Structure 1
């Protein structure tokens, strides 16, 4: 067997594979002998079929199958030994006819080669890394929510601004009938609030669904309507009031602290505020890190310049999926996936250049920490090492789950790299201002 490569340009190559008859003939002969032993052909006893007949009936199919296996193995070995970084898979060049009786069979494959490039993390304009803080306003609002949730319900005769109103949304045409408890602060407009204020048990309030809530998902849950049906829903619904209550705020005492956090974990309002601030800012860190990761990704894709073997990739996409694509469909698919492909290449380059690795021990340790955190939520604070190891082993026996955890760890290590080497500026602000700045004032 002989394999040669011709580089068309920096991103495309053609590999030629020449297979001699001696490379496959012995294997083909052995398979045909085995076929002869089991062949069931009328007029002949099993094992007594003439070899010529076996070759005539099965020879071509066996030959083609063995040559294809040889080609696949040879190509994989060649790409590994030559350390060729290819995109997609090798594409066989079409041949009009193949003379399977020839002493040498020749095949050609097109390759799309990954580009060579450098990655510069130092943006001219610094990338913002937000440090989101839980300010006094947020902490106090959270304390009030805790007091309300743990407080005692007191019945009211009329709806007031802070009432909890239980009732049923109904629309016969759309077959909507759903009982909910709501508060007036969730509605989008002041006009809706005015419709409720002063209302009594038994009153029916007619509401338009369009613009009722800021977030249509709130409306989806209120009406118990399917996700696909809620967007753009513009109908009238009747809300019949069944119950009106207010909540007496729970006292900020040791009983409440123990109920929320466990015995003596929090012992004062000051410690409660510190705990709320700590827990909130842990969550904010994850959100800020994700925003930073997204921004760095965007920067790298936009500013790391290299060409791709676009024509080859589109040709490969035509046959790579479950359903074949025509040239226009393949072009559209390529354009949709190009940005993602570029970042995969950039990420791979950063992982290689910075020797980022995830070992099985890393994956196992991360799994143990996830399990401990989940068990703590259910009050199991001190699981044994054996428990953790057994559960981790079960989780990691699922290859898909192990791969997911590995990708999480790679992402964490890349985030640490970006924080260390990227040109960034830290901006401290409240969560409310973070939402306004990043997502707009909604």
Structure 2
């Protein structure tokens, strides 16, 4: 077997393989011998079918299969042994393959197109990052308490409406065609100045209003009227809403039963401990948000500052060849996003290689257990015993044919790379208020 690399450009190359009969025939003979021993053909006893008949019946198919196996192993081994940095997967030269005469040829030549990534460097030490520290304030804490008391409260059906109620009724457009039964209205969605018109209203009482004067935005109008976004934006004039039912959430009392429902049995013993725990949860949530923002900064700066040349033409051909749903139209819309994700993956791998970062199975298991604790441990379930956590974690990692394991592995890998970058980059710590942080994140999204 002769394997060579034909490099056309820095990003495009072909792996050429020449096979002699001696490279594949021993494997073909071995496989045909197995067929001879197992074949059950009418007129012959098991194991007594003439080898010449087996070869005539199966010889070409076996040869094609064995050569394909040989080629796959040869290409993969060549890439690994020569440490070729490729993206995508090798694409066989189908035109050359179609010229093969499998009935008569003894020697073969194959070619696989590959996309190469030229070597690049990643500079993490010159990154300038901002690590925000956010402390929950008393207003947020009280808002969280109010929200939880409503969530765990009881629904009643009062005779008249009040602020915060959920109201059902019949909606009619005074000078139009809209007539909606079972219309739903949350009074919290109204403009503040319009609220008095909708409170103190009894069942079967009608309210007439200008729809553009009572709602904060077109989306709320769309939900209330059941129209399309375009229709909702164009709606004007008076509507009549007749109340048929009123739902009200009566807040739960701040007692032990409520504390247990929210945080788990006996997690806290009084209101002071309850609010202290909620403040801790708010802080943990901010820590996660600020951590995510810092990771986004790292990703964005490294993508902007790292020069990576990709084999774009090859990648587009590979994406189309390996996925029937990928068309030229799809590539036009989504290729840039794909390239961004690919470059980020290459950057992370380069950082990991340079700094010998590896993820062990124990780290994947612990990461999974932490995620389970975050999901179930904070509100209402309490901490899980270690043996139960291990069972949950292992079952999750074994599900979905390994996809779950790879997802958690990638998260753990990403975490280790980000933590390494933090230790090498310049990170300025800055304390901001919750409102300031919301503005920072909003501006970042926009």
TM range (shorter): 0.7 to 0.9
Q: Could you tell me which residue of structure 2 aligns to residue 360 of structure 1?
A: 361
Alpha-carbon contact 1:99-1:105 (below 8 Å) kept = no
Question: How far apart in 2 are the matches of 1:347 and 1:303?
Answer: 14
Q: Could you tell me which residue of structure 1 aligns to residue 303 of structure 2?
A: 301
Q: Deviations over 1:24-63 (max 9, x none)?
A: 223323444555673758xx65778776565455433332
Question: How far apart in 1 are the matches of 2:149 and 2:380?
Answer: 22
Question: How far apart in 2 are the matches of 1:166 and 1:267?
Answer: 35
Alpha-carbon contact 1:210-1:233 (below 8 Å) kept = no
Q: Could you tell me which residue of structure 1 aligns to residue 423 of structure 2?
A: 420
Is 1:119 the counterpart of 2:122? The answer is: yes
**Structure 2 vs 1, CA of residues 156 and 33 (structure 1 numbering), >3 Å: closer, same or farther?**
closer
Shift of the alpha carbon at 1:87? 0.9
Question: How far apart in 2 are the matches of 1:197 and 1:231?
Answer: 27
Q: Deviations over 1:83-117 (max 9, x none)?
A: 22211111223326224434431222222112211
Equivalences for 1:195-344 in 2 at 5 Å? 195-205=197-207, 208=211, 212-214=215-217, 216=219, 231-232=229-230, 234=232, 239-242=241-244, 260-261=262-263, 262-263=265-266, 265-269=268-272, 271-323=273-325, 325=327, 334-344=335-345
**Structure 2 vs 1, CA of residues 289 and 383 (structure 1 numbering), >3 Å: closer, same or farther?**
closer
Alpha-carbon contact 1:164-1:182 (below 8 Å) kept = yes
Q: Deviations over 1:339-375 (max 9, x none)?
A: 1111111121122222222211112223334445555
**Structure 2 vs 1, CA of residues 21 and 371 (structure 1 numbering), >3 Å: closer, same or farther?**
same
Q: CA RMSD in A?
A: 4.1
How many residues get paired?
A: 429
Question: How far apart in 1 are the matches of 2:336 and 2:152?
Answer: 53
Q: Could you tell me which residue of structure 1 aligns to residue 131 of structure 2?
A: 129
List structure 1 segments (4+ residues) > 6 angstroms apart after TM superposition: 46-50, 150-157, 171-175, 218-223, 245-251
Q: Where does structure 1 lack aligned partners over 5 or more consecutive residues?
A: none
TM-score, normalization by structure 2? 0.78
Alpha-carbon contact 1:132-1:431 (below 8 Å) kept = yes
Q: Could you tell me which residue of structure 1 aligns to residue 168 of structure 2?
A: 167
TM-score, normalization by structure 1? 0.79
Q: Deviations over 1:359-409 (max 9, x none)?
A: 111122233344455554575546443333333332222222222222222
Alpha-carbon contact 1:313-1:334 (below 8 Å) kept = no
Q: Per the alignment, in what secondary structure is the counterpart of residue 88 of structure 1?
A: strand
Q: Per the alignment, in what secondary structure is the counterpart of residue 202 of structure 1?
A: coil
Which range moves more in the overlay, 165-174 or 60-69?
165-174
